[in-house]
């Protein structure tokens, strides 16, 4: 799920899903409109682990794919990379991302483009990451996005990371996996297709990466403790208050939480760090 930011809501900026009612819009847009900033399956804790594993520093040129409205961007910018580029295909997201300010001399820009074809230069980045977006793609599109990340990365110092939903454990019965996927799609109104940890690793390997680190976390996006940890106590209470005042939104939120709880034993979050696999001529 994509992220949003409370400042965008406070400034009445356009958000994805304008014109759709709560019963029809994708789940991440609904939660954004209720004021939720962190819409990552493993929460801000797993996002921070991902950025630590990437080792973003002042020498890095960072590209974030499907950057949303800037929740993770701010964490990345706090590490003062030399350059940060946010890519998103949604005009409202790009408008908000364009207002980001870095605490140091980082060159910041936002481009409206698809993660499968960013039109950014070959090898221009040392770090590429994306969160909660591959899960929402069918398998061919997943591969195109990972292939694009590989194209963007510098061969010698490049690092790539993802933060997605996952099915647990490896070897999960296919019928159960399909049931979980169907329930997810019905709840969030997006064609979510999470993979097992080994399948995520295989996807990256097939498209030219070697996985060097991996961490999983519970899928507790709508649990009270995670909500407070991710948003803070007062913002969490405001989100709950908005939901209580909107019966249609409340029904959707409770439905999503029931699905997450029903499949909690087999539905989690995962982050993987990978580096470009050397070609035979580089080895």
Q: What is the pLDDT along the chain (283 residues), one digit of tens a residue?
A: 433 344 444 444 555 555 567 878 889 889 988 999 899 999 999 999 999 999 999 999 999 999 987 999 999 999 999 999 999 998 988 998 999 988 889 999 999 999 999 999 999 999 999 999 999 999 999 999 999 999 999 999 999 999 999 999 999 999 999 999 999 999 999 999 999 999 999 999 999 999 999 999 999 999 999 999 999 999 999 999 999 999 999 999 999 999 999 999 999 999 999 999 987 766 5
Indicate the angle between helix axes 247-262 and 174-188, nearest 10 degrees.
Answer: 170
Q: What pLDDT sits at residue 277?
A: 95
Strand partners, 108: 84
Contact present, 4 and 68 (Cβ < 8 Å): yes
Per-residue model confidence (pLDDT) at position 11 = 44
Question: Hey, what long-range contacts does 94-99 have (CB within 8 A, 24 or more apart)?
Answer: 95/13, 95/14, 96/5, 96/8, 96/13, 96/69, 96/70, 97/67, 97/69, 97/70, 97/73
Give the residue among 181, 193, 81 at the shortest CA–CA distance from 129. 81
Q: Cβ(164)–Cβ(192) under 8 Å? A: no
Candidates 29, 84, 23, 93; CA nearest to 59 is: 84
Q: Which two tokens stand for residue 116?
A: 């499968």
Provide the pLDDT for residue 116: 97
pLDDT value for 9: 40
Which residue is listed with tokens 């990379």?
81
**Distance from C-alpha of 107 to C-alpha of 105, rounded to nearest angstrom:** 6
The pLDDT value recorded for residue 282 is 61
């Amino acid at each position: 799920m994509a992220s949003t930011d409370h400042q965008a809501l406070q400034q009445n900026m356009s958000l994805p899903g304008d014109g759709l009612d709560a019963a029809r819009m994708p789940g991440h847009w609904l939660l954004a409109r209720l004021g939720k900033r962190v819409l990552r399956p493993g929460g801000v804790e797993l996002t921070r682990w991902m950025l630590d594993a990437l080792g973003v520093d002042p020498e890095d040129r960072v590209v974030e794919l499907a950057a949303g409205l800037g929740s993770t961007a701010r964490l990345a910018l706090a590490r003062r990379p030399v350059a940060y580029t946010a890519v998103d295909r949604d005009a409202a997201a790009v408008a908000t991302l364009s207002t980001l300010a870095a605490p140091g001399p980082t060159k910041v820009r936002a481009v409206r483009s698809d993660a499968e074809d960013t039109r950014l230069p070959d090898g221009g980045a040392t770090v590429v990451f994306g969160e909660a977006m591959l899960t929402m793609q069918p398998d061919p599109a997943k591969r195109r996005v990972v292939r694009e990340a590989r194209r963007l990365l510098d061969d010698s110092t490049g690092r790539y990371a993802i933060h997605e939903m996952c099915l647990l454990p490896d070897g999960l019965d296919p019928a159960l996996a399909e049931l979980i996927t169907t329930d997810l799609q019905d709840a969030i109104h997006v064609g979510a297709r999470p993979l097992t940890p080994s399948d995520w690793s295989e996807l990256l390997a097939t498209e030219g990466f070697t996985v060097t680190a991996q961490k999983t976390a519970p899928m507790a996006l709508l649990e009270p403790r995670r909500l407070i940890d991710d948003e803070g106590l007062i913002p969490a209470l405001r989100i709950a208050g908005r939901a209580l005042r909107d019966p249609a939104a409340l029904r959707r939120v409770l439905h999503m939480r029931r699905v997450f709880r029903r499949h909690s034993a087999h539905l989690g979050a995962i982050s993987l760090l990978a580096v470009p696999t050397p070609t035979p001529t580089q080895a």
